[in-house]
Structure 1
Amino acid sequence: MKVYRDADIEAASGKGAGDENFPVGSFLIAPPLRPHVKAYYDFARGADDIGDDPDLDGEEKIRRLEAYRQVLHGEAKGLTKPEALRRSLLATGVPLERGSDLLRAFKQDARQDRYASLSELITYCEYSACPVGQFLLDLHGEDRALFPASDALCTSLQILNHLQDCSDDLRKIGRSYLPIRWLTEEGAAVEDVLADRASPELRKVFHRLLDVCDDLNRKAEELVGGLRSRRLAAESAVILRLAKRLHNRLRTGDPVAERVALSRTDFLAAGALGLWQGALMPRRAA
């Protein structure tokens, strides 16, 4: 069996849970489940760091991500984060694919830096974002009939993050997630995100993507009321409210001119309302 070393595979971004837009393994998650959420987050963070390392070429990124996959699936050993997630998933009965599906998206990032259409972008999100929500549902033993609502929320979060980081993604790693077809239709170009401010044409593309997020957020409302776990319902309600707040900020702000981010007030308000909603809404019968 092949043995890898962390030092030969890992890449460091310096990012942690505190840098995320949305709560990661917050106190709302039941204490016995938090170590499993942390194992999943650490794995995803490590793989994402490899995928976004500007000093690695595409083939080297794919090689390292494949090492992650091999260790996760027990075909190799020696990497701390994939081994920790493998133990967690085997212990909880969550499919290993919840981890390796993420790797598929990060490998795609190493090969592809433009997206022709919204459909192509949504397909990417099915692997880059949706496995996270599916992991949480499986971890809590929730009904997989809720996957579509969870996928909607995760896809919305991913697109909002792409809009938030559109300038940095192109400037630092040469990547754009804005649909080329929409850019062409509105008379804009990928490189427009490198200007001092968003042009009217580029803003039309932003608004079209925000319209998509609006629809996805409405679909995601089904998730909160459908969950049996009050803790997970509260966590989901908080995240959905934060998504809506970031959506509204991106509607009026300009992510090309400055970073559009959530404030402490946003987090406090969404937290309070999410806790209330999760605690008081009727739950599905177990």
Structure 2
Amino acid sequence: MDSAGSASSGKGARDENFPVASWLIAKRHRPAIMAFYNFVRTADDVADHATLPASEKLRLLDQLEASLLGHNDKEPTAIALRSILAERNLTPAHACDLIAAFKIDASKSRYEDWDALIGYCRLSAMPVGRYVLDVHGESQNLWPANDALCAALQIINHLQDCSKDYRALDRVYLPLDDLRAAGAQVSDLGLERASPALRHCLSSLAARTEELLGDAASFSRNIRSTRLSLEVAIIHRLATRLVELLKYRDPLSERVHLDKSQTFMITASTLISRARFGARKDASNVRLLT
């Protein structure tokens, strides 16, 4: 392959679990977020390609990063992001962290424990939210809450796709010590239906992911941008619902994704809840002033 774009899976922003630069995001910020998404999508498709050898994946990821940093002009999505970063005086560090995560995906297929998985999320997930915060000019004080939410979103995806990742790529993100503690085996991921031991392991990991969402509970309310605050609040609610599903459904044999109607209802209820909170807050301020 001449370029990373040749490995495209055809997936786009609409195929993701969670909103990407939705209508809630201010129009002036959407190009920067979409440029980042397109770059990351390109790198992800390389790392997840079913037939490319690891050496070729690493070569293409190196080439993609080099284009981002201005060392070549071979990768269109990298050139587009490079231009946006220069225009808005943003760092390429977050995108480079993601490239590092995809290089791990190209060469590593197992994680021994929860700490190892979170270490992967530090490269594969947390930089995404940090970049969006930077685009909006938000404080780095928000990074710990952002990191908890982004790690949760990443692990939700791992739990949803645990069987597909194993079957297609022989990649297992479930911590091996959790599998052993539950009495499950990696090969259980290839079954048509999860064994009781695997179900116990998945439910336990969903509960740990729920704790991460608890750490991010106040995140949205501390964001200055009203639009981004609403987007994050909705994403948090969507993630909370998915974790609830993963605690009692079997991702090997049952649907653990939200359809359009469910997503709409959660979005609408979150917006209504925030509107009511804002109205109560305004009324409280009026009482304090009278």
Residue type at the aligned position of 1:147: W
Q: 1:60 aligns with which of 36, 56, 59?
A: 56
Alignment pair present for 1:170 and 2:166: yes
Q: Does the CA-based 8 Å contact 2:188-2:195 persist in structure 1?
A: yes
Q: Tell me by how many angstroms 1:200 deviates.
A: 1.3
Name 1:138's counterpart in structure 2.
134
TM-score between both structures, scaled by the size of structure 1: 0.93
Q: 1:214 aligns with which of 199, 210, 220?
A: 210
Name 1:225's counterpart in structure 2.
221
Residue type at the aligned position of 1:25: A
Q: Does the CA-based 8 Å contact 1:198-1:254 persist in structure 2?
A: yes
Measured in 2, the distance between the counterparts of 1:90 and 1:277 equals 38
* Deviation per residue, 1:50-89 (Å, 9 max, x gap): 0000110111101100111111111222210001011111
Name 1:110's counterpart in structure 2.
106
Q: Tell me by how many angstroms 1:277 deviates.
A: 4.8
Measured in 1, the distance between the counterparts of 2:66 and 2:96 equals 9
Q: Does the CA-based 8 Å contact 1:245-1:266 persist in structure 2?
A: no
Name 1:36's counterpart in structure 2.
32
Q: Does the CA-based 8 Å contact 1:105-1:127 persist in structure 2?
A: yes
Name 2:41's counterpart in structure 1.
45
Q: Does the CA-based 8 Å contact 2:156-2:243 persist in structure 1?
A: yes
Name 2:79's counterpart in structure 1.
83
Measured in 2, the distance between the counterparts of 1:212 and 1:91 equals 40
Name 2:125's counterpart in structure 1.
129
Q: Tell me by how many angstroms 1:264 deviates.
A: 2.1
* Deviation per residue, 1:228-280 (Å, 9 max, x gap): 00000000011000001111111221101134211223211221133235555
Identity of aligned residues (%): 43
Q: Does the CA-based 8 Å contact 1:230-1:278 persist in structure 2?
A: no
TM-score between both structures, scaled by the size of structure 2: 0.92
Consecutive unaligned residues of structure 1, counting only runs of 5 or more, are: none
Measured in 1, the distance between the counterparts of 2:150 and 2:274 equals 18
Residue type at the aligned position of 2:252: V
Alignment pair present for 1:15 and 2:15: no
Q: Does the CA-based 8 Å contact 1:167-1:194 persist in structure 2?
A: yes
Name 1:187's counterpart in structure 2.
183
* Deviation per residue, 1:128-170 (Å, 9 max, x gap): 1101100110000001100010111110000000000001001
Measured in 2, the distance between the counterparts of 1:275 and 1:117 equals 37
Name 2:90's counterpart in structure 1.
94
Name 2:233's counterpart in structure 1.
237
Q: Tell me by how many angstroms 1:14 deviates.
A: 1.6
Alignment pair present for 1:154 and 2:153: no
Residue type at the aligned position of 2:95: G
Measured in 1, the distance between the counterparts of 2:5 and 2:253 equals 35
Any idea what SS the aligned residue of 1:76 has? Answer: coil
Q: Does the CA-based 8 Å contact 2:207-2:247 persist in structure 1?
A: no
Q: Tell me by how many angstroms 1:9 deviates.
A: 5.4
Q: Does the CA-based 8 Å contact 1:233-1:278 persist in structure 2?
A: no
Q: Tell me by how many angstroms 1:209 deviates.
A: 1.0
Residue type at the aligned position of 2:23: F
The alignment of Structure 1 onto Structure 2 pairs a total of residues equal to 279
Q: Does the CA-based 8 Å contact 2:203-2:248 persist in structure 1?
A: no
Any idea what SS the aligned residue of 2:193 has? Answer: coil
Q: Tell me by how many angstroms 1:94 deviates.
A: 2.0
* C-alpha distance 138-92 of structure 1, shift in aligned 2 (>3 A): same
Q: Does the CA-based 8 Å contact 2:113-2:175 persist in structure 1?
A: yes
